[in-house]
Amino acid sequence: MRIIVAAIGRLKAGPETELAERYRKRAAQTGRNLGWRDVEIIEIRESRAAEADKRMLEESIALTTIIPPGATVVLLDSRGDNLDSASMAAQFTKWSDNGKPAVVFIIGGADGLAPGLKDKAQMRLCFGAVTWPHQLVRVMLLEQIYRVSTILTGHPYHRT
């Protein structure tokens, strides 16, 4: 199973990028024992359209084009489900057991996502009620993906 984190915007060189890459590599390495092909990050350029609705549509179209056939789509959304790590690990197990070829986590741009892309989502996930910068959401998501891999492989990283 491929794990894809698709995000609007690029992380600039710096501590957030280094931390995101550290968790991505750890998750990819640990995930191999679970049959994960890779943990990938796909960055989509921010739209330069003048109107917010047009930016949202252009970014959503670009995100839609990278979703592999048969993939599970998970939106990072402030109105989504707030899962604990064990529940997230159980969800990964379900996706794997159901033969999903990929799971795509989508982090939208500042203007949000178009309704057509929202309709494709099988799950909406949030990291609490507060608003997080997109850079930190990416780091937190990659850390949770790594944590899930350690839970599922019995690694001591996750302790309850």
pLDDT tens for 79-130 read 889 999 999 999 999 999 998 999 999 999 888 899 889 999 999 999 988 8
Phi, psi of 140 (to 5 degrees): -65, -40
Fold of 2-153: Alpha/beta knot (3.40.1280)
Contacts of 15 by beta carbon, 8 Å cutoff, 6+ apart:
none
Listed by start position, the domains of the chain span 2-153
pLDDT in tens, 15-30: 999 999 999 999 999 9
Contacts of 105 by beta carbon, 8 Å cutoff, 6+ apart:
3, 4, 5, 6, 74, 76, 125, 141, 145
Structure pTM?
0.93
Q: How many CA atoms lie within 13 A of 9 on its CB side?
A: 18
Q: How far apart are CA 31 and CA 120, in angstroms?
A: 25
Q: How many CA atoms lie within 13 A of 30 on its CB side?
A: 22
Report whether pLDDT(160) > 80. no
